[in-house]
Structure 1
Amino acid sequence: MKISIVVAVADNGIIGRDGGLPWRISSDLKTFRRLTMGKPLIMGRRTFQSLKKPLDGRDNIVISSNGDYRPEGALMAADFQSAVSLARECAKARGVDEIAVVGGTAVFEAALPIADRIYKTEVHGAPPGDASFPDLDWSAFEEVAREPLPAGPNDDYQATLVVFDRLGDR
């Protein structure tokens, strides 16, 4: 079962601002949907709340230490390891072999040691923000694909999807 991180990161490392994305890039949203459709998604509570509603066609697994938090349309996990176990069950039931970890920073930090793949949208800009992608030893990964994302007329920045696979054994 492959564990993948799906993230958009600006040139300055920023991934979020005020509980949302610090840019508008329609092709990135379409790419996110394409990469995650039909798969279990693992995310933190704040990331889930930024979505406004559960993402359709996917198991939304939300990590929260608040046992009373029960959002409609989501499965709950108390910690990252529990979320991965639940995601594995969901993936098996769906007949898929990939789990997508979609944020935020603390969830990415927990996923990095076990991530097999990173789908990184490189946002070619430096917007202000208050959430960053964790530091990562990129030498543990190799670039396996690169795809420029077409810019829409209302997009804030150009972007490129880069796919990285982990090298060798962990």
Structure 2
Amino acid sequence: MTINKPVVAMMMAMDRNRLIGSEGQMPWHIPGELAYFKSVTMGKPIIMGRKTFESIGKPLPGRTNVVVTRNLDWSAEGVLRAHTLEQALSLAAEADQASPEPELMIIGGAALCADAMPQTQRLYLTTIDHAFDGDTWLDSFHWEDWRVVTEDVRDPATTGGLAVTYWVLEKA
């Protein structure tokens, strides 16, 4: 049996200043964005930091949830715990061996994304052409490191009046 090596992918949304969060939450609500997130991640292992998991509040159904934390005593029902990014990637890969085109999804937060950015091969990036207030940025992302695979510009009438683009990028 041949085991396909999984693609390390990341899924993030950011404003024009690379802002991704405000007090542990997303600083925007965009109609359709959560449905897009679900459609891309469903059936794939998702890897997130503990604070991201706690902001969601529960494991996301239909996906293996892997939470990275330095706290050796932390646990939550319905998730796999990892103490390093490497351990998380290994747990997620084991969970996704049956997939013909395995893809491991890193979904946040900023510190985990910074650690994972060098290993990330594909990025599902939502950009919002607006400046929001917040406290967490995707500083590890640089456009010149990526090439565009697809670009899907949404009509602001369908996205709450915001100019939103869904990108699929691959490492340049």
C-alpha separation between the residues in 2 aligned to 1:140 and 1:164?
9
Deviations 1:77-134 (Å, cap 9, x if unpaired)? 0111110111110111455510000000011011110111011000121110111002
- Aligned: 1:85 with 2:100: no
- Aligned: 1:107 with 2:112: yes
Is the partner of 2:108 in helix, strand or coil? coil
Question: Which of 9, 13, 19 lines up with 1:8 in the alignment?
Answer: 13
Is the contact made by 1:6 and 1:118 (CA closer than 8 Å) also made in structure 2?
yes
Q: TM-score, normalised by structure 2?
A: 0.90
Is the contact made by 2:129 and 2:163 (CA closer than 8 Å) also made in structure 1?
yes
- Structure 2 unaligned residues grouped into runs of 5+: 1-5
Is the contact made by 2:151 and 2:165 (CA closer than 8 Å) also made in structure 1?
yes
C-alpha separation between the residues in 2 aligned to 1:63 and 1:83?
7
- Aligned: 1:56 with 2:48: no
C-alpha separation between the residues in 2 aligned to 1:73 and 1:153?
34
Is the contact made by 1:27 and 1:150 (CA closer than 8 Å) also made in structure 2?
no
C-alpha separation between the residues in 1 aligned to 2:64 and 2:157?
29
Which structure 2 residues correspond to residues 1-170 of structure 1 after superposition, within 5 A?
1-93=6-98, 96-149=101-154, 151=156, 155=160, 157-167=162-172
- Seen in structure 2, the aligned counterparts of structure 1 residues 70 and 133 have a Cα distance that, compared at 3 Å, is same
- Residue correspondences, number: 167
Is the contact made by 1:39 and 1:100 (CA closer than 8 Å) also made in structure 2?
yes
Please state how far the C-alpha of 1:157 moved relative to its aligned partner.
2.6
Is the contact made by 2:130 and 2:162 (CA closer than 8 Å) also made in structure 1?
yes
Deviations 1:51-76 (Å, cap 9, x if unpaired)? 12110100110001111111111110
Please state how far the C-alpha of 1:26 moved relative to its aligned partner.
2.2
**Aligned amino acid, residue 112 of structure 1:** M
Q: TM-score, normalised by structure 1?
A: 0.91
